[in-house]
Every structure is written in structure tokens, then in C-alpha cells.
């Protein structure tokens, strides 16, 4: 028997289980859209924007085509471009830095904290100094709420205020989480999120949203997502994007939003079981004081990761690595400036690995995953000791 073909113990992200819980609601919602025929910016889009803003407490929600565009639209609204420096974590998905380059500005890479996996404020200070040394104008900082936990927005905002920076929260993985009683969507000048299917609140295709309390910027963003044309204007006023959320995706997200609060609680229960079962063997993620997480990923740190991943695969436990490389090491980004050191980023990129995480992971299934991981970690440690 080929061990590589062992049937997985569980799905890494089980969208099918969630689909069963939704029942006929998705088909009914899609049928309603098909009946009224407003496939772009239909009434479900407006309804979704209102409910998302209400959910997190933001004044405005502007949906768009995807999470990457959500970030880019904010940079466009702020007029960020050539000669400007935008500070981004070095350890995240490439889109965070990609939009900075697309805007014509310069990403400056910042190290992360080894416990939270989020932006290290000491490294941010150093990165600002590096940007100024190179003659760049610091304009914005884009903390990423990696794996579902908010970054330290209190400390980041103090630095941003001192240097006149816009704070744009990249909450592609954290919508639904909170920090010191304030929900993601209200922690920064702007918040961008994603509704990619694998996200904690995901559609059945691409989608994104921006949250802000600024009335004028909200109006501008609404124009920019639609070729620079405001809803009440006959022609385009600005250079914009074609970045509107499809009505069918909005209809689907409205149904998923009904389950979202319960799913967040279920994800926390899964995270708690992992921490209890694995905390003594590997480094498990921890929450900073006052933070909650939506656990977009459950990421542990292991040594000899390649061997561990191979053993998990052979045992039927799916894993994923987010992310294999720091952004500064990718060919397209090697020439951009960075804070001195980036020690934690380099270390974590060699050790992180994520286990199955979703709201419908049954306790008995998760127990099998935990037992398997326990056995594999002990075996690898024994192998090291014997060498």
C-alpha cells in the first residue's frame, strides 16, 4: 500500500460540512438574485454592507471584488504612490506587499513577534528610520492580523501618530476577532478583509470589503471600486478599478453571516483542544492580552518540518505551510528595503506548519489528529536524541 494515498483523517478546511449546515438557504438566496436579475451591486450587496458594518461596529463598509483590491483601493484613496514608504510585515501572504508596488510606492519589510506572529513595533520603528535614510516619505503602515489574531494596534497607532502614518489593517484572516473589547473593523483608520472561500467568513468565490468611519473616504472608495464613478454621477471622476462584489456572492455571504458567531465559538473550542493536547510537545499559538482570534489557521512550530509534514501526510493528517518564505526573499521583492535583522521572520518561515482548523471539526476526529501529531513529534525527538 502506498502511504502517500492514505485517506485523510479530516479535511484541512471542511467547506462541505458548513454547506450542510446552511441547508437550502444558499440555493434560495441565489434563486432570489436570479429572479430580480441585478447581478452587479444588487440589493444584497447593500444589505451585506450594512450587516457587516453593524457586526463589527464600523460606520461604513464598502465591498469590492477581493481582499487584494480592498488593500489597493485604500492606498489609492490616500494618494499613496512614488516616493512613499509603506511598512508591511515580512512574514505574510504576498498580496500585502504586492499592492504597495502596484500603487507605485515602496514596501519596507518589518519583522514579527515570535509569539503572536504579528508586526513587531520595535522593528517598525527601525524600518521607519531605514525608509527615511533612503529618502522615502513614510506614509502608511499595514499590520497583518496573521492566522486570525489582531496585531498590537494600540502600540502601532502610537507610532503611526508620531510619524503621521495611515494605519490600514490587513484583516483578511481576522474578521470577527477583537482586541480589548473592540472588534476588527474598528481598530485602524481603515480595515481591509477578504471573503475568499477558505477565510473564516468566506464566499463561494472572491470578494472583499473595506471598513472605515471616515464619511468622505467612504464615498471616495465607493467611486474608486467602480471605475472612479460615484453612484450619483454620470461619468467617472477618478481613475479607479473594476472591483465590485457580485450580487450572488453577497447573497451567499448573507447566509453564511447568520452562522458566523457560532462558528467563531466553535473555532475557539478547536483551538483550545489543540492547545491542551499539544502544548507540552510543540510551541502552540498564544493570544496577547485582551485579544480574541477567529483562528483562520492553527499554526504550530516544529523542528525538522519537512520530515514532520511527510509523516503527517503518510498518517492521513493534512497540513499546510503559511508561509514558506519571507516576502523579502522572493525574487520580485529582494531589492526593496527592510528593517535591520528580520530574525524572527527567518526563523518562523523554517518552522511554521498549520493543522486542520474549521468550525465543524468533530472532537473525536480532532483527538485522532492530536494523537497522531503527538506520536510523530515524540518519534522525531527520539530520532534527534539518538543521533
Q: Is residue 1 pLDDT above 50, yes or no?
A: no
pLDDT of res. 372? 95
Whether pTM exceeds 0.75: yes
Residue with cell 480595515: 191
User: In the prediction, which pLDDT does 384 show?
Assistant: 57
CATH ID of 1-387, from 3.40.640.10, 2.120.10.30, 3.40.30.10, 3.40.50.720: 3.40.640.10
Is residue 380's pLDDT more than 90? no
Q: Positive or negative CA dihedral for 57, 58, 59, 60? A: negative
- Look at residues 322, 338, 283 and name the one whose alpha carbon lies nearest to residue 173: 322
Instruction: Tell me what the pLDDT averaged over the chain comes to.
Output: 95
Burial 290-324 (b: 16+ CB within 10 A, else e): ebbbbbbbbbbbbeebeebbebbbebbbbbbebbe
pLDDT above 90 as % of the chain: 93
What's the pLDDT at 2?
A: 46
Mean pLDDT of 185-191: 98
Position 383 scores a pLDDT of 65
pLDDT in tens, 29-85: 999 999 999 999 999 999 999 999 999 999 999 999 999 999 999 999 999 999 999
Locate the domains of the chain by residue range: 1-387
In terms of phi and psi (left: phi > 0; alpha: psi -120 to 50; beta: otherwise), the region of 205 is left
**pLDDT tens-digit readout, 268-311:** 999 999 999 999 899 999 999 999 999 999 999 999 999 999 99
Q: Is the pLDDT of residue 178 over 90?
A: yes
pLDDT, residue 61, reads 98
Amino acid at each position: 500500500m502506498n502511504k502517500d494515498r492514505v485517506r485523510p483523517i479530516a479535511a484541512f478546511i471542511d467547506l462541505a460540512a458548513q454547506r450542510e449546515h446552511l441547508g437550502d438557504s444558499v440555493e434560495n438566496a441565489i434563486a432570489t438574485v436570479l429572479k430580480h436579475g441585478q447581478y452587479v451591486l444588487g440589493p444584497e450587496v447593500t444589505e451585506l454592507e450594512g450587516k457587516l458594518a453593524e457586526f463589527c461596529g464600523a460606520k461604513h463598509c464598502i465591498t469590492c471584488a477581493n481582499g487584494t483590491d480592498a488593500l489597493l483601493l485604500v492606498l489609492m484613496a490616500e494618494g499613496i504612490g512614488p516616493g512613499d514608504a509603506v511598512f508591511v510585515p515580512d512574514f505574510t501572504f504576498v498580496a500585502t506587499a504586492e499592492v504597495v508596488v502596484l500603487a507605485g510606492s515602496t514596501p519596507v519589510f518589518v519583522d514579527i513577534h515570535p509569539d503572536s506572529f504579528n508586526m513587531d513595533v520595535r522593528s517598525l520603528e527601525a524600518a521607519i528610520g531605514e525608509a527615511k535614510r533612503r529618502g522615502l516619505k513614510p506614509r502608511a503602515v499595514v499590520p497583518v492580523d496573521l492566522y486570525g489574531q489582531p496585531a498590537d494596534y494600540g502600540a502601532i497607532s502610537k507610532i503611526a501618530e508620531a510619524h503621521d502614518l495611515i494605519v490600514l489593517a490587513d484583516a483578511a484572516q481576522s474578521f470577527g476577532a477583537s482586541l480589548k473589547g473592540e472588534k476588527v473593523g474598528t481598530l485602524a483608520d481603515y480595515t481591509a478583509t477578504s471573503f475568499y472561500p477558505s477565510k473564516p467568513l468566506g464566499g463561494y468565490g472572491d470578494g472583499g470589503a473595506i471598513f472605515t468611519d471616515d464619511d468622505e473616504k467612504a464615498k471616495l472608495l465607493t467611486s474608486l471600486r467602480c471605475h472612479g464613478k460615484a453612484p450619483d454621477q454620470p461619468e467617472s471622476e477618478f481613475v479607479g478599478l473594476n472591483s465590485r462584489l457580485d450580487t450572488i456572492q453577497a447573497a451567499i455571504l448573507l447566509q453564511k453571516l447568520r452562522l458566523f458567531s457560532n462558528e467563531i465559538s466553535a473555532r475557539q473550542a478547536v483551538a483550545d483542544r489543540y492547545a491542551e493536547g499539544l502544548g507540552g510537545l510543540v510551541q502552540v499559538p498564544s493570544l496577547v492580552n485582551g485579544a480574541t482570534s477567529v483562528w483562520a489557521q492553527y499554526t504550530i512550530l516544529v523542528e525538522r518540518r519537512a520530515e514532520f509534514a511527510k509523516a503527517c501526510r503518510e498518517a492521513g493528517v493534512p497540513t499546510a505551510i503559511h508561509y514558506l518564505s519571507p516576502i523579502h526573499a522572493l525574487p520580485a521583492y529582494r531589492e526593496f528595503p527592510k528593517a535591520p535583522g528580520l530574525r524572527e521572520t527567518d526563523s518562523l518561515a523554517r518552522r511554521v506548519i498549520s493543522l486542520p482548523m474549521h468550525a465543524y471539526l468533530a472532537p473525536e476526529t480532532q483527538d485522532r489528529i492530536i494523537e497522531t501529531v503527538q506520536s510523530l513529534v515524540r518519534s522525531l525527538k527520539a530520532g534527534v536524541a539518538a543521533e
